Amino acid sequence: MENGESRNKYKMLAIIIMLVFIFGLTYLAAGKIEGGKIWKDARQNTIISYHLWKSGHFSMDGISPTYFREPLPIIFTALHIAWFTDIPKTVSSELITTSLRYTRQIAQVNIWYLMGVFLSLWWLSWRLTRSHLVGALAIIGTWLYFFGHFSNLNRPLTESPAALFFLLSSAISVWMVQTRRLGAAILTGVAMGAAALTKAAALYVGIIVIILLPMALILFEPGHRRKSCLIFLAMAFGFAVIVIPWMYRNYVNFGEFAITQRGGAVLHTRAVKNQMTSEEYAAAFYVYSPWIFRHYFFEPYLGFHKTDLEPGGRWVKLIRYQPGDRVAIQAGNVDKTISYLAKSRAIRINLIREMRAQGIPAQQADKKFQQVAINMILLDPCKHLKTTLVFAWRGLWSFAPSIKPILSISTDIVNLFSFIVFLVFPFVALWRKRIDWFAFSLFGGGLFWFYAFLTHFIPRYSEPLIPLVVLSVLVLFRSLIIRWKKRRCLS
């Protein structure tokens, strides 16, 4: 009896320590939020959130509807503005993105995401390992390598909410395969639907996961086919309940059953970058590497030189926004652009202008752009597959860099090693016949390869995967230690 009471006290103490640890880190993070001008993607998110709060319209101007951005982070930011800021409805949308007083309050929405990420990571770690230590180490790694990108704290970007819903999707998936509860299956679908309304790529990956997870359950336990079919239906139901209303809203307003209107532009950028030459393809691994790898490996051993990355250099077409690119984009002058990204955007500007001249709504441009991109890819699908390796290489370098060279080197090495572990984890799960490991790694791994296959995969796309990446290393490392100890005892 006393032993049982002692164990319960130990468990309660561990939980209290973890909660204090999580809330302590969250408090420290809150102190690092300084605000500052909100620009680019974060500006669009903020303005739509402001109008959603002010007038109830999901709009950039408070009047015309839009579906340019995923809705869920915008809804959360609107709620945050309403409940946790003193921003009046009388200020202009421009002022709330430039006034330090307002931008700091808006950026504090990230505190909720950070706390949610830490709690979800702790829960997922516990379900996989029954170890609070693993959870604590995963949280520390996430703090260092994900929230170390202070832009993820200082601006209302979608990376922090995406990290939360990617984590929840994986965590609830693990819970579902461990318990086989239909309620957990519904919640898995709901979490993946929320991820899709945060990052549109998760729509397609979620559909694949909803199909593959029940199939994996049948593979591991052939006698439970009926239950696996019910789990599939429950997951599909939860997913559909979340995503279909928003997609139907876009169909009614814009004639497109989609989450956002930006898919065509992203795919076209990738299709244009597929046109890189053989020399540029080899150089792309150099261009898309961290400075440490370029300086200590590519340049001394493979003959590359940093001057080739400067304006006028050999590989500048692979680097976004060269001198004169922005002017050429605005003019729609494709021949004057330098980088592949600028070329794609100039082509898009011309297409939009042509459609407007014909009286066709600009919203239809993305659908047209998507079809053009698909046709370009189909002309040489083998080259598209080949460049997928380049963009996978580019996308994995998302760990927050350190300002100190020696720490930067270690960060890049940890970054590379961790992503390799993360990407092989589903196969390790199949080999070890660990359905919980498979459920943990399938959604995140699918997102990585989706980005590598269909986008130009800037490292920011893979930032939300960092908590899962860090945890995968810890889970595998812990498993190897346990196996080593067992073999040592047997010997």
Query: What number is the average pLDDT over the span 189-205?
Result: 97
Q: What is the pLDDT of residues 99-111, one digit of tens each?
A: 999 999 999 999 9
pLDDT greater than 90 at residue 264:
no
Q: Inter-axis angle of helices 182-196 and 201-220, to 10 degrees?
A: 150
Judged by average pLDDT, the poorest of 98-102, 110-114, 421-425, 440-444 is: 98-102
Mean pLDDT of 184-205: 97
Query: Residue 325 in contact with residue 331, Cβ under 8 Å?
Result: no
The per-residue pLDDT for 336 is: 94
For 267-289, the pLDDT digits (tens) are 999 999 999 999 999 999 999 99
With bands split at pLDDT 50, 70 and 90, how would you rate the model's confidence at 352?
Answer: confident
Residues 291-304 pLDDT 10s? 889 999 999 999 89
Question: Residue 353 has what pLDDT?
Answer: 87
Tens digits of residue pLDDT in 145-184? 998 877 788 889 999 999 999 999 999 999 999 999 999 9
> Is 82 exposed, middle or buried (CB count within 10 Å of its CB: 0-12, 13-18, 19+)?
middle
| 321 pLDDT tier (thresholds 50, 70, 90) | confident
Q: What is the pLDDT of residue 150?
A: 73
Domain boundaries, the chain: 2-32+108-259+398-490, 263-393
User: Looking at residue 71, what is its pLDDT?
Assistant: 96
Q: What does pLDDT average to over the chain?
A: 92
Closest CA to 342 of 330, 319, 325: 325
Mean pLDDT of 69-88: 95
Higher pLDDT, 401 or 61: 61
pLDDT at 268: 94
How would residue 490 be classed by pLDDT, with cut points 50, 70 and 90?
confident
Report d(CA 390, CA 284) in Å as an integer: 7
Q: What average pLDDT score do residues 468-472 get? A: 98
pLDDT of 1 higher than 60: no
Task: Give the C-alpha separation, 98 to 35, whole Å.
Answer: 9
In this prediction, residue 115 carries a pLDDT of: 96
Which pLDDT band holds residue 241 (cuts at 50, 70, 90)? very high
pLDDT at 360 over 90: no
Q: How confident is the model at residue 401 (pLDDT cuts 50, 70, 90)?
A: confident
Taking CA atoms, 396 is separated from 29, 119, 125, 399, 473, in Å, by: 25, 25, 22, 8, 15
